[in-house]
Structure 1
Amino acid sequence: MVRRPGLHWKVRPYMTARGRTGSRSPLLIHTLVSTGNRYDPLLAASLAPASRTLYEQARRMSSVAELSAGCGLPLGLTRLLIGDLLKTGQLEVHDPRSAQDLALLERLRAGLARLT
């Protein structure tokens, strides 16, 4: 079985989400999120493993798709956990229109290519 960094191999994604199937705030795969200047190592240590992996990966601005691929988590679970971190104010959403440059689009394309 392939080991994923964000999940223990014996834990199913729906168990990590505590049976929840969707987030109230729909996040698109190209939505950019980051911790901004709020990264807190003590908070990271207190999070569940999958949420901790997402939180640490979001130290640099990334799309939802990049976080999903980089953490080895299913996209639905990634959206749900990001929604939880957004509710507590630990992550912030960035307007993709203000950061549309060639380097960002290339990173997004590369991240999507890794998903396929």
Structure 2
Amino acid sequence: MARRPGLHWKVRPYMTARGRTGSRSPLLIHTLVSTGNRYDPLLAASLAPASRTLYEQARRMCSVAELSASCGLPLGLTRVLISDLLKIGQLVVHEARPSQDLALLERLRAGLVRLT
């Protein structure tokens, strides 16, 4: 099994998500999330490693797919962990603005190219 930066190589994703397979809110791959002004280093230190990595990466606004790729986490697990952070009010979901669509598509394309 290849080593991933976000997860310990012996920990299965369903263990990190405590058996949950879906998120509480509809998080599409292009949904934009960030910490907004709410980044809390003390909270980050108290989170599990996979959640901490997501939380730190979300300091800048990015899509769910970008977070999944940059953290080396499966998309389903990323959605569950983002949903947990949304529930405690530490992440913000942003509406996509028409002016961002082209920039978002370019970032998604660049992320997919990096994966191949």
Which TM-score band applies after superposition, normalised by the shorter structure?
over 0.9
Task: Work out whether 1:96 is the aligned partner of 2:84.
Answer: no
How far apart in 1 are the matches of 2:37 and 2:13? Answer: 29
How far apart in 2 are the matches of 1:71 and 1:60? Answer: 14
Three-state SS of the structure 2 residue aligned to 1:100 is: helix
Partner amino acid, structure 1, of 2:82? I
> Does the C-alpha gap of structure 1 residues 67 and 99 become closer, same or farther in structure 2, counting only changes over 3 Å?
farther
1:89, distance to aligned residue in structure 2 (A): 0.5
Stretches of structure 2 that go unaligned for 5 or more consecutive residues are: none
Residue 61 of structure 2 is matched in structure 1 by: 61
- TM-score, structure 1 normalization: 0.92
Residue 83 of structure 1 is matched in structure 2 by: 83
Three-state SS of the structure 2 residue aligned to 1:96 is: coil
How far apart in 1 are the matches of 2:109 and 2:89? Answer: 28
> Is the Cα contact below 8 Å between 1:65 and 1:112 reproduced in 2?
no
Stretches of structure 1 that go unaligned for 5 or more consecutive residues are: none
How far apart in 1 are the matches of 2:41 and 2:51? Answer: 13
How far apart in 2 are the matches of 1:53 and 1:85? Answer: 12
Runs of 4+ in 1 over 6 A off after TM superposition: none
1:105, distance to aligned residue in structure 2 (A): 2.7
Report the count of equivalent residues.
Answer: 116
How far apart in 2 are the matches of 1:92 and 1:98? Answer: 19
Task: Work out whether 1:18 is the aligned partner of 2:21.
Answer: no
In angstroms, what is the RMSD of aligned CA positions?
1.5
- Structure 1 residues 63-107: Cα deviation after superposition (integer angstroms, max 9, x where no partner): 000000000000000000000000110000011125515433311
- TM-score, structure 2 normalization: 0.92
